[in-house]
C-alpha cells in the first residue's frame, strides 16, 4: 500500500513528527527513522526533544540532521547551532542545550533589571562556551 503523507506512513516506526504530540525524547533509533522518513518523502522537518524542549533538530531530506538550541531572551527568540549528528551526540547536544536554557532563557533568568547585566546576549553566550559556538537573533 502506498501512503501519500508522512503522517499516515507506518513504514517508519517511531519517527518524530514536527508536532511531537507525545513529547518523545531523542534516541538514536527515533532520529534514524525520522531521517529515513524525511529522505523518503524529500521533506525537511524541525523537531524538538520531549525531555529538553530547548534542544531542536532540523532533519533535512539530504541525509543531514543539525542540532540547535532555541531560547528566548528579552522577548526575542535566539537560535544557536550545536553541530551535525552524529558528529555531536544526543547527550552532548542535550547537555549544552540545557545549560544555555538554564542560564539565558527569560523563564529561567530573572535578573535582567541590572543595568550592567549583559547588554549583548551574544557576548554572554560566547562566555558560556569554551569553543565559541556562534549565536544570533533569528526572531
Asked if the model's pLDDT at residue 5 lies above 50, the reply is yes
- Averaged pLDDT for residues 3-11: 55
What DSSP state is assigned to residue 127? H
Angle at 16 between CA 39 and CA 30, to 5 degrees: 80
CA–CA separation, 88 and 94 (whole Å): 10
Q: How many residues does the chain have?
A: 139
CB proximity list for 84: less than 8 A, separation 6 or greater = 64, 65, 66, 67
Q: Is the pLDDT of residue 27 over 50?
A: yes
Tens of pLDDT, residues 98-115:
887 777 766 665 554 454
What average pLDDT does range 77-84 have in this prediction? Answer: 85
Q: What residue spans define the domains of the chain? A: 6-137
What CATH architecture applies to the domain 6-137? 2-Layer Sandwich (3.30)
- Flag the least confident range among 14-28, 93-107, 118-132: 118-132
Q: CA-to-CA distance for 115 and 110, rounded, in angstroms? A: 13
Amino acid at each position: 500500500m502506498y501512503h501519500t503523507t508522512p503522517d499516515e506512513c507506518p513504514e517508519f516506526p517511531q519517527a518524530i513528527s514536527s508536532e511531537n504530540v507525545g513529547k518523545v525524547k531523542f534516541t538514536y533509533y527515533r532520529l534514524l527513522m525520522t531521517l529515513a522518513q524525511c529522505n523518503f518523502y524529500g521533506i525537511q522537518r524541525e523537531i524538538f526533544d520531549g525531555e529538553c524542549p530547548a534542544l531542536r533538530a532540523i532533519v533535512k531530506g539530504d541525509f543531514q540532521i543539525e542540532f540547535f538550541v532555541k531560547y528566548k531572551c528579552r522577548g526575542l527568540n535566539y537560535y544557536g547551532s550545536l553541530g551535525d549528528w552524529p558528529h555531536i551526540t544526543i547527550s552532548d547536544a542535550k547537555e549544552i542545550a540545557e545549560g544555555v536554557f538554564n542560564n539565558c532563557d527569560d523563564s529561567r533568568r530573572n535578573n535582567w533589571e541590572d543595568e550592567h547585566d549583559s547588554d549583548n546576549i551574544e557576548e554572554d553566550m560566547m562566555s558560556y562556551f569554551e569553543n565559541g559556538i556562534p549565536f544570533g537573533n533569528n526572531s
